[in-house]
Amino acid sequence: MSETTNPGNVIDMQAFRANQSEPEALPENKSELAEVRRFPVVADHGGRPHVRTIGTQKRGDREITFNPLEQDYTPQSPENIAPEAEELFKAALDIMKARAAVTDILTQEEQTAVSDAAYIELLAEQNAPTTQQRLSSAA
Amino acid sequence: MPNLFAKTLHLFTGGPISSKKRPLKKYSERDLLRMESAIGRDLFGPIPAGHQREFFCLDARTWIWYERWLDPQTRKQQEQTTRYEVHSNGIIKIQEGQPYIVLEGQELENLKTAVQIYHERVMRDIYHRNHLTGEPFPVTQ
C-alpha cells in the first residue's frame, strides 16, 4: 500500500499553505486582509458574474474591505474542510501544476496565483451562510 | 454548467479549444487529459465490452467520469457524464437528470482510492514527478 492510500496519512495543510510563496499567504484574520495580494474572485451579482478582488477599496473618506460573500471574510481553520475534499483538491492542484509546467500555459507566478485563488475560493465557500442562516438573519 | 460540458466534450472530440498557437509546446492540454484518462479509465475495474470510459481531473474542483456504450435493446449510443465537484463540506456527485448527491460510504471510498492512485500514477508516469512532493524526478544517465 502506498503512502497516499494510508488512511492515517493526513495532508498537512499548514505545510501546504507554508509552501505558498509570500506574499500570497492567506490572512489569519480580517485585519490582515488589506495586506493580501489582490486575487480575482468571481462573484455572482444577479446572475451576472463579475470579476472582483479581495482587498480594500476607498469609498469617499472611508476605506472598506470588499467582501465577495457580503459578510465578514474570516477564513475558518483549514481543519474544518472535509478531509475528502482536501484530499481531492490537493491531488487536483498537484496535477494542474504539473500540466501547466508541461504545456507552459502559465508562468510559475501564474500557477501560484491560480492555486491560491482556488484555495481561497474553497475557504471562502466555508463561510458562505447556509440558506437557513440567510433566512434567520433576514427574519 | 454548459461551459464545463462543452469544454469536456471539446477535449475529447477534438473540437476547437483555442486558436492559440503553441509551436514550442510538446503537448496540448487535450493531449495531457487524454493521457491521464488512459490511466484513469482503468481504475474502476474492467470496462464492459462495447463501453468507452474516461476518468480524469478536469480542474482543481472537478473530476469527470464519462461512459458511453451501445444499448443492445435500442441499438443507440448512450452516454453518461458524472461530475464530482469538490466543495469544502464534501464531494458532490452530479449527473444529468439526477438530484445532486453528497458522496458518502463505499462510493466515496472508491472515489478517494481512485483519485489517490490516479494522482500517484499520473504524476509518476506522465509528468515524471514525485506525487508526494510534486518535484520532478532526477534525470538518470
Nearest residue, CB atoms, B120 vs list A2, A102, A118: A2
Per cent of chain A over pLDDT 90 is 4
Nearest residue, CB atoms, A95 vs list B91, B116, B123: B123
Q: Does a structural domain hold residue B89? A: yes
Q: Does a structural domain hold residue A2? A: no
Q: pLDDT confidence of A7, banded at 50, 70, 90?
A: very low
Residue B55 lies in domain = 2-103
Supply B51's cell numbers. 463501453
Pairing of strands A62-66, A55-59: antiparallel
Residue type, A46: G
CB pair distance less than 8 Å for B118 and A85: no
Residue type, A137: S
Q: Which residues of A touch B84 (CB under 8 A)?
A: 88
Q: How far is the alpha carbon of A89 from chain B, nearest alpha carbon, in Å?
A: 6
Q: What DSSP string runs through B49-94?
A: TTEEEEEEEEETTEEEEEEEEE-TTT--EEEEEEEEEEETTEEEEE
Q: Does a structural domain hold residue A3? A: no
In whole angstroms, give the CA distance from residue B130 to residue B128: 7
Supply B120's cell numbers. 500517484
Q: Does a structural domain hold residue B110? A: no
- Residue B11 has a pLDDT of 57
Q: Looking at residue A59, what DSSP letter applies?
A: E
Number of domains composing chain B: 1
Please say if the pLDDT value at position A62 is more than 80: no
- Residue A123 has a pLDDT of 58
Residue A41 lies in domain = 8-138
Q: pLDDT confidence of A39, banded at 50, 70, 90?
A: very low
Number of domains composing chain A: 1
Tell whether B127 is within 8 A of chain A (Cβ).
Answer: yes
- Residue B22 has a pLDDT of 39
**Phi/psi at A121 (5° precision):** -60, -40
- Residue A133 has a pLDDT of 58
Q: Does a structural domain hold residue A79? A: yes
Please say if the pLDDT value at position A36 is more than 70: no
Going by C-alpha positions, the residue among B11, B126, B29, B114 that lies closest to residue A87 is B114
Q: Does a structural domain hold residue B113? A: no
In whole angstroms, give the CA distance from residue A74 to residue A69: 11
Q: Does a structural domain hold residue A65? A: yes
Q: Which residues of B touch A89 (CB under 8 A)?
A: 60-61, 86
Q: Does a structural domain hold residue B130? A: no
- Residue B3 has a pLDDT of 60
Window 18-37 of B, Cβ < 8 Å to A: 22, 24-29, 32, 36
Please say if the pLDDT value at position A111 is more than 60: no
In whole angstroms, give the CA distance from residue A124 to residue B3: 23
B120 torsion bin: left (phi>0), alpha (psi -120 to 50), beta (else): alpha
Please say if the pLDDT value at position A55 is more than 60: no
Q: How far is the alpha carbon of B102 from chain A, nearest alpha carbon, in Å?
A: 11
Q: Does a structural domain hold residue B134? A: no
Q: Does a structural domain hold residue B140? A: no
Q: Does a structural domain hold residue B35? A: yes
CB pair distance less than 8 Å for A84 and B61: no
Taking 70 as the pLDDT cut, the residues of chain B under it are 1-26, 140-141
Q: How far is the alpha carbon of A59 from chain B, nearest alpha carbon, in Å?
A: 33
ipTM above 0.95, yes or no: no
Q: Does a structural domain hold residue B61? A: yes
- Residue B138 has a pLDDT of 81
Residue type, B68: R
Q: Which residues of B touch A81 (CB under 8 A)?
A: 88
